[in-house]
């Protein structure tokens, strides 16, 4: 059994304790709770109640993770009036997070929608337009890091990939996870969104994806060379993460498939 399978099996036994923890700290009585998603550092649970539905996310505690979670909560709540972000629920003590067993719990209201497992240029266009809107925001109240090479920094989502937005009936209805938000060049977001949307497109050249992104974004000061450099950087980092987390895959074949796919994408991009 893989580490991931063992982890999820352990969490299934933990459901009742988590339901009790949520009721004690948030006053939310859960009718149904199940694992919704699993990542390298965070597990998401779907919570159904008689009043409304929620998503509970549990992460292993570290000072860095604690800071990034608080950034995500602050920005998601702050930007909710202009973006379809999730809104977080405070616990009975008025805190946005609950600490327990060396873990961090936070709860948001559930947004109806699905992660886009395939990608077309219509959804990709919407993602780029959301980036343009995000970059126009002036965000104050939370200290944000600045990407080192930036001359004229804008507010960046940092990780607007298909894993971090929800789609319903062909429309993006949810923008998730501002944990990597920072100040920096627009090229950072444009390259990251382009790369990981390209991953889910069939038989499309990356330069076509980038050309479409630039046409939609429609700003003359984008540095084309920087955009491609950052695209390659994102791919290399992703490949390193796949190597690092080899033991979390269900099977060795699943890991090999993911590694091979990403490696080939990196080789393809490097030839452009």
As a whole-number percent, the residues of the chain with pLDDT over 90 amount to 79
| Confidence (pLDDT) at 65 | 95
Q: How far apart are CA 217 and CA 211, in angstroms?
A: 10
| Confidence (pLDDT) at 7 | 55
In this predicted structure, the answer to whether residue 260 has a pLDDT above a threshold of 60 is: yes
Exposure string (b/e) for 9-34, b if CB count within 10 Å is 16 or more?
eeeeeeeeebbebbeebbebebeebe
- For residue 6, name the pLDDT band (cuts at 50, 70, 90): low
Look over the chain and give the mean of its residue pLDDT values, rounded to a whole number: 92
Q: How far apart are CA 195 and CA 128, in angstroms?
A: 12
Domain(s) of CATH 3.30.200.20: residues in the chain: 3-109
**This prediction's pTM:** 0.90
Task: Pull the structure tokens for residue 85.
Answer: 């972000």
| Confidence (pLDDT) at 35 | 83
Q: Report the CATH fold assignment for 3-109.
A: Phosphorylase Kinase; domain 1 (3.30.200)
For the chain, how many residues are written? 272
Q: For the beta carbon of residue 78, count every other beta carbon within 10 angstroms.
A: 17
- 248's CB contacts (< 8 A; 6+ apart) are 2, 3, 4, 40
- For residue 15, name the pLDDT band (cuts at 50, 70, 90): confident
Domain(s) of CATH 1.10.510.10: residues in the chain: 121-270
Q: Report the CATH fold assignment for 121-270.
A: Transferase(Phosphotransferase); domain 1 (1.10.510)
| Of 245 and 5, more confident | 245
Average pLDDT for residues 120-126, to the nearest whole number? 97
| Confidence (pLDDT) at 175 | 97
| Confidence (pLDDT) at 129 | 98
Q: What is the distance between the terminal CA atoms of the chain, rounded to a whole angstrom?
A: 41
């Amino acid at each position: 059994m893989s580490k991931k399978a063992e982890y999820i099996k352990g969490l299934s036994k933990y459901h009742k304790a988590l339901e009790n923890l949520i009721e004690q700290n948030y006053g939310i009585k859960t009718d149904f709770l199940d694992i919704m998603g699993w990542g390298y550092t965070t597990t998401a649970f779907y919570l159904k109640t008689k009043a409304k539905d929620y998503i509970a996310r549990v992460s292993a505690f570290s000072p860095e993770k604690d800071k990034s979670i608080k950034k995500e909560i602050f920005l998601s709540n702050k930007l909710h009036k202009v973006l379809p972000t999730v809104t977080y629920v405070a616990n009975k003590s008025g805190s946005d997070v609950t600490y327990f067993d060396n873990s961090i719990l936070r709860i948001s209201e559930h947004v109806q929608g699905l992660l886009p497992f395939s990608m077309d240029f219509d959804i990709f266009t919407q993602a780029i337009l959301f980036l343009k809107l995000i970059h126009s925001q002036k965000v104050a109240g939370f200290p944000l890091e600045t990407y080192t090479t930036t001359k004229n920094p804008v507010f960046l989502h940092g990780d607007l990939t298909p894993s971090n937005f929800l789609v319903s009936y062909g429309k993006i209805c949810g923008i998730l996870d501002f944990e990597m938000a920072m100040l920096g060049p627009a090229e950072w977001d444009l390259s990251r969104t382009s790369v990981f949307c390209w991953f889910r497109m069939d038989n499309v050249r990356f330069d076509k994806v980038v050309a479409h992104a630039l046409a939609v974004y429609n700003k003359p000061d984008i540095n084309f060379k920087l955009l491609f450099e950052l695209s390659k950087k994102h791919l290399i980092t992703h490949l390193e993460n796949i190597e690092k987390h080899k033991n979390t895959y269900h099977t060795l074949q699943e890991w090999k498939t993911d590694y091979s796919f990403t490696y080939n994408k990196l080789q393809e991009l490097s030839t452009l």
